Amino acid sequence: SQQGEEDPQALSIQEGENATMNCSYKTSINNLQWYRQNSGRGLVHLILIRSNEREKHSGRLRVTLDTSKKSSSLLITASRAADTASYFCATDSSYKLIFGSGTRLLVRP
Amino acid sequence: NAGVTQTPKFQVLKTGQSMTLQCAQDMNHNSMYWYRQDPGMGLRLIYYSASEGTTDKGEVPNGYNVSRLNKREFSLRLESAAPSQTSVYFCASSVVQGAEAFFGQGTRLTVV
Protein backbone atom coordinates (compact mmCIF):
# COMPACT_ATOMS: atom_id res chain seq x y z
CA SER A 1 0.00 0.00 0.00
CA GLN A 2 1.08 3.58 -0.54
CA GLN A 3 2.99 5.43 2.14
CA GLY A 4 0.98 8.63 2.03
CA GLU A 5 -2.77 9.05 2.00
CA GLU A 6 -4.37 12.40 1.28
CA ASP A 7 -7.63 13.60 2.69
CA PRO A 8 -10.04 14.63 1.30
CA GLN A 9 -9.91 12.83 -2.03
CA ALA A 10 -11.73 15.73 -3.66
CA LEU A 11 -12.36 19.34 -2.64
CA SER A 12 -14.46 22.03 -4.32
CA ILE A 13 -14.23 25.64 -3.15
CA GLN A 14 -15.03 29.14 -4.35
CA GLU A 15 -12.29 31.39 -5.66
CA GLY A 16 -10.85 33.43 -2.81
CA GLU A 17 -11.45 30.75 -0.18
CA ASN A 18 -8.71 28.78 1.50
CA ALA A 19 -8.07 25.13 0.68
CA THR A 20 -6.69 22.66 3.19
CA MET A 21 -5.62 19.16 2.38
CA ASN A 22 -4.06 16.59 4.67
CA CYS A 23 -1.57 13.79 4.29
CA SER A 24 -0.94 10.88 6.62
CA TYR A 25 1.97 8.49 6.33
CA LYS A 26 3.13 5.30 7.95
CA THR A 27 6.88 5.17 8.51
CA SER A 28 9.56 7.59 9.67
CA ILE A 29 10.65 10.10 7.06
CA ASN A 30 13.56 12.35 6.17
CA ASN A 31 11.33 14.92 4.54
CA LEU A 32 7.85 15.38 3.12
CA GLN A 33 7.10 17.12 -0.16
CA TRP A 34 4.00 18.44 -1.88
CA TYR A 35 3.48 18.38 -5.64
CA ARG A 36 0.82 19.68 -8.02
CA GLN A 37 -0.36 17.97 -11.17
CA ASN A 38 -2.45 19.69 -13.78
CA SER A 39 -4.64 17.37 -15.79
CA GLY A 40 -2.57 15.01 -17.91
CA ARG A 41 0.71 16.72 -17.15
CA GLY A 42 3.82 15.92 -15.16
CA LEU A 43 4.11 16.79 -11.49
CA VAL A 44 5.54 20.08 -10.30
CA HIS A 45 7.27 20.43 -6.95
CA LEU A 46 5.68 22.94 -4.57
CA ILE A 47 7.43 22.73 -1.22
CA LEU A 48 9.64 20.48 0.90
CA ILE A 49 9.56 20.30 4.69
CA ARG A 50 12.23 18.44 6.63
CA SER A 51 11.45 16.09 9.49
CA ASN A 52 12.88 18.56 12.04
CA GLU A 53 10.70 21.42 10.79
CA ARG A 54 7.13 22.08 11.93
CA GLU A 55 5.94 24.73 9.50
CA LYS A 56 7.04 26.23 6.22
CA HIS A 57 5.69 28.97 3.96
CA SER A 58 6.06 29.66 0.26
CA GLY A 59 3.94 32.44 -1.20
CA ARG A 60 0.29 31.43 -0.67
CA LEU A 61 1.28 27.96 0.52
CA ARG A 62 1.66 26.93 4.14
CA VAL A 63 2.75 23.42 5.09
CA THR A 64 2.78 21.93 8.55
CA LEU A 65 4.32 18.67 9.69
CA ASP A 66 3.55 16.71 12.84
CA THR A 67 5.92 13.76 13.03
CA SER A 68 4.34 12.47 16.24
CA LYS A 69 1.05 12.04 14.37
CA LYS A 70 2.73 11.18 11.08
CA SER A 71 0.71 13.82 9.29
CA SER A 72 1.09 16.96 7.23
CA SER A 73 -1.25 19.60 5.90
CA LEU A 74 -1.09 21.91 2.91
CA LEU A 75 -2.98 25.21 3.08
CA ILE A 76 -3.51 27.28 -0.05
CA THR A 77 -4.74 30.74 0.85
CA ALA A 78 -6.86 33.03 -1.33
CA SER A 79 -7.35 30.32 -3.95
CA ARG A 80 -7.55 31.08 -7.66
CA ALA A 81 -9.11 29.20 -10.55
CA ALA A 82 -5.57 28.43 -11.72
CA ASP A 83 -5.02 26.41 -8.52
CA THR A 84 -7.40 23.76 -9.88
CA ALA A 85 -5.26 20.62 -10.00
CA SER A 86 -4.45 17.42 -8.13
CA TYR A 87 -2.14 17.73 -5.14
CA PHE A 88 0.07 14.93 -3.89
CA CYS A 89 2.21 14.48 -0.84
CA ALA A 90 5.41 12.47 -1.19
CA THR A 91 7.49 11.09 1.62
CA ASP A 92 11.20 10.51 1.51
CA SER A 93 11.60 7.31 3.43
CA SER A 94 14.75 5.25 3.01
CA TYR A 95 15.66 7.79 0.35
CA LYS A 96 12.82 6.75 -1.98
CA LEU A 97 10.09 9.22 -2.91
CA ILE A 98 6.74 7.53 -2.30
CA PHE A 99 3.56 9.33 -3.31
CA GLY A 100 0.09 9.36 -1.85
CA SER A 101 -3.15 9.03 -3.77
CA GLY A 102 -3.78 12.76 -4.10
CA THR A 103 -6.47 15.38 -3.51
CA ARG A 104 -8.34 16.76 -6.51
CA LEU A 105 -8.97 20.47 -5.96
CA LEU A 106 -11.55 22.41 -7.98
CA VAL A 107 -11.62 26.17 -7.53
CA ARG A 108 -14.83 27.64 -8.92
CA PRO A 109 -14.63 31.16 -10.39
CA ASN B 1 17.67 23.44 -20.79
CA ALA B 2 14.99 20.81 -21.43
CA GLY B 3 14.84 19.26 -17.93
CA VAL B 4 13.51 15.69 -18.11
CA THR B 5 12.60 14.39 -21.55
CA GLN B 6 10.61 11.21 -22.14
CA THR B 7 10.05 9.40 -25.41
CA PRO B 8 7.68 8.38 -26.80
CA LYS B 9 4.73 10.45 -25.58
CA PHE B 10 2.15 7.90 -26.69
CA GLN B 11 2.37 4.19 -27.49
CA VAL B 12 -0.04 1.36 -28.23
CA LEU B 13 1.26 -2.18 -27.82
CA LYS B 14 -0.25 -5.58 -28.37
CA THR B 15 -0.15 -8.06 -25.53
CA GLY B 16 3.20 -9.83 -25.51
CA GLN B 17 5.11 -7.13 -27.38
CA SER B 18 8.16 -5.50 -25.86
CA MET B 19 9.25 -1.91 -25.79
CA THR B 20 11.63 0.49 -24.07
CA LEU B 21 10.65 3.85 -22.65
CA GLN B 22 13.46 6.37 -22.80
CA CYS B 23 14.23 9.10 -20.28
CA ALA B 24 17.00 11.68 -20.30
CA GLN B 25 17.78 14.60 -17.98
CA ASP B 26 20.16 17.48 -18.55
CA MET B 27 20.37 18.78 -14.98
CA ASN B 28 23.35 16.65 -13.91
CA HIS B 29 21.16 14.88 -11.36
CA ASN B 30 22.41 11.76 -9.64
CA SER B 31 19.07 10.06 -8.94
CA MET B 32 16.42 8.99 -11.41
CA TYR B 33 13.03 7.31 -10.99
CA TRP B 34 10.29 5.58 -12.96
CA TYR B 35 6.68 5.81 -11.77
CA ARG B 36 3.36 4.66 -13.15
CA GLN B 37 0.06 6.45 -12.62
CA ASP B 38 -3.26 4.70 -13.14
CA PRO B 39 -6.49 6.69 -13.64
CA GLY B 40 -7.51 8.65 -10.56
CA MET B 41 -4.60 7.35 -8.54
CA GLY B 42 -1.29 8.50 -7.23
CA LEU B 43 2.12 7.55 -8.53
CA ARG B 44 3.65 4.20 -7.73
CA LEU B 45 7.40 3.75 -7.84
CA ILE B 46 8.56 1.05 -10.28
CA TYR B 47 12.36 1.34 -10.11
CA TYR B 48 14.85 3.95 -9.11
CA SER B 49 18.53 4.64 -9.56
CA ALA B 50 20.27 6.41 -6.71
CA SER B 51 23.34 7.08 -8.80
CA GLU B 52 24.97 6.05 -12.03
CA GLY B 53 25.60 2.31 -11.99
CA THR B 54 22.95 1.40 -9.40
CA THR B 55 19.30 0.42 -9.72
CA ASP B 56 16.78 -0.77 -7.12
CA LYS B 57 13.23 -2.04 -7.07
CA GLY B 58 10.41 0.19 -6.00
CA GLU B 59 6.82 -0.65 -5.03
CA VAL B 60 5.70 -2.36 -8.26
CA PRO B 61 8.73 -3.74 -10.18
CA ASN B 62 7.23 -6.95 -11.57
CA GLY B 63 7.11 -7.05 -15.37
CA TYR B 64 9.70 -4.28 -15.79
CA ASN B 65 13.45 -3.92 -16.17
CA VAL B 66 15.58 -0.79 -16.12
CA SER B 67 18.97 0.34 -17.31
CA ARG B 68 20.91 3.35 -16.08
CA LEU B 69 22.84 3.82 -19.29
CA ASN B 70 24.86 6.77 -18.00
CA LYS B 71 24.27 9.70 -15.68
CA ARG B 72 21.78 11.31 -18.09
CA GLU B 73 19.71 8.36 -19.23
CA PHE B 74 17.45 5.87 -17.45
CA SER B 75 15.34 3.51 -19.56
CA LEU B 76 12.39 1.31 -18.64
CA ARG B 77 11.75 -1.91 -20.53
CA LEU B 78 8.61 -4.00 -20.78
CA GLU B 79 9.67 -7.43 -21.98
CA SER B 80 6.20 -8.87 -22.56
CA ALA B 81 3.49 -6.24 -22.25
CA ALA B 82 0.22 -7.07 -20.49
CA PRO B 83 -3.07 -5.10 -20.40
CA SER B 84 -2.43 -4.46 -16.67
CA GLN B 85 0.54 -2.34 -17.71
CA THR B 86 -1.73 0.17 -19.44
CA SER B 87 -0.86 3.36 -17.60
CA VAL B 88 0.87 6.71 -17.77
CA TYR B 89 4.58 6.39 -17.05
CA PHE B 90 6.58 9.24 -15.56
CA CYS B 91 10.30 9.58 -15.30
CA ALA B 92 11.78 11.91 -12.70
CA SER B 93 15.19 12.98 -11.48
CA SER B 94 16.63 14.66 -8.41
CA VAL B 95 20.05 15.95 -7.46
CA VAL B 96 20.27 13.27 -4.77
CA GLN B 97 17.86 10.65 -3.46
CA GLY B 98 14.91 12.13 -1.64
CA ALA B 99 15.43 15.70 -2.86
CA GLU B 100 13.01 17.76 -4.95
CA ALA B 101 12.11 15.73 -8.03
CA PHE B 102 11.67 17.05 -11.54
CA PHE B 103 9.25 15.19 -13.78
CA GLY B 104 8.95 14.51 -17.46
CA GLN B 105 5.64 14.98 -19.26
CA GLY B 106 4.82 11.29 -19.24
CA THR B 107 4.31 8.43 -21.68
CA ARG B 108 0.76 7.20 -22.20
CA LEU B 109 0.95 3.47 -22.83
CA THR B 110 -1.99 1.34 -23.88
CA VAL B 111 -1.66 -2.44 -24.08
CA VAL B 112 -4.43 -4.14 -26.06
- Is A42 or A83 the better-scoring residue by pLDDT? A83
Split at pLDDT 50, 70, 90, the class of A18 is very high
User: Of how many residues is chain B composed?
Assistant: 112
With beta carbons less than 8 A apart as the criterion, state whether B12 and B55 touch. no
Instruction: Name which of B27-36, B38-47, B80-89 the model is least confident about.
Output: B38-47
Interface list for chain A against chain B, based on CB atoms closer than 8 Å: 2, 4, 30-31, 33, 35, 40-45, 48, 88, 90, 92, 95-102
CB contact under 8 A, A88 and B42: yes
**Coil vs helix vs strand at B83:** helix
Whether the predicted pLDDT of A90 surpasses 50? yes
Strand order in the sheet with B74-78: B4-7, B19-25, B74-78, B64-68
Q: Does the distance separating the beta carbons of A101 and B104 come in below 8 Å?
A: no
Distance from CA of B58 to the nearest CA of A (A): 8
The C-alpha atoms of residue A94 and residue B86 are separated, in whole angstroms, by 28
Write out pLDDT tens, residues A36-57. Answer: 999 878 899 999 999 999 999 9
Contact A2 B102 (CB under 8 A): no
Looking at residue A1, its pLDDT comes to: 44
Q: Is the pLDDT of residue A24 over 90?
A: yes
pLDDT at B98: 85
Evaluate whether A97 touches A31 at the Cβ level (below 8 Å).
no
